[in-house]
Amino acid sequence: MSNQHERFIVRKPTLVSELPDHDFSQAIPYPVLMGKELVPEARAWALYLFIKEITQELKDLAIGTDRATPHKHAFDEMYLMIGEEKAITFEVLMGNETYRVETPAAVYIPRGVPHGIRPVDATVGKTGGLIPVCLNGEYITLPVDEPG
C-alpha cells in the first residue's frame, strides 16, 4: 500500500495563542486544523472553535466578547457555523451590513470585503462552534482602509 498522500493528512493540529485583529484572549489556544505550516501545499487555512456543551459561564463569556476588528483579506474566506440548530447566534458584519446567523450555517466572504463576526446569543446545553476557513493557506489580515 502506497503512502503518497499521507503528507496531506493533519493528525496533530497546532495551537495558536493569538490571531491578528481578533481578541480571543480568554478563549484560546485553539487548534489550527489546516494551513501551509502543516501542509506546505495547502491553499486553505482552518481554525477550530468548538464548544462541546455550552454552559451559562461560556455563554456569558462569549456574549461579552467584542467582534473582531473589522478587517479584510486578499483571499476568499468562509465561516462554517457548526452545531445543533440555534446553538449559537452570530452577528456578521459584511461591508456596512449586519446579519444574524444561527447554527448550522455558512457565510462566504469574498476577498476585499471588510468583515467581523461575534457571538450574540447561545443556548445552554447545546453544542456548537465556528470554523473560519481562509482560502490561501495562512491567516493574514489587512486593515479596512488599505487596498487589498
For the chain, helix (H) and strand (E) counts, in that order, are: 1, 12
C-alpha distances out from residue 120 to 52, 85, 92, 108, Å:
18, 15, 10, 19
- What tens digit of pLDDT does each residue of 71-127 get? 999 999 999 999 999 999 999 999 999 999 999 999 999 999 999 988 889 999 999
Confidence at 48, pLDDT banded by 50, 70, 90: confident
Say which CATH topology domain 13-143 has: Jelly Rolls (2.60.120)
Report the SS3 class of residue 7.
helix
The pTM assigned to this predicted structure is: 0.81
Q: Where are the domains positioned within the chain?
A: 13-143
Which of 46, 69, 70, 51 minimizes the C-alpha distance to 61? 51
pLDDT of 63 strictly over 90: no
Dig out the grid coordinates for 42 from the structure: 495547502
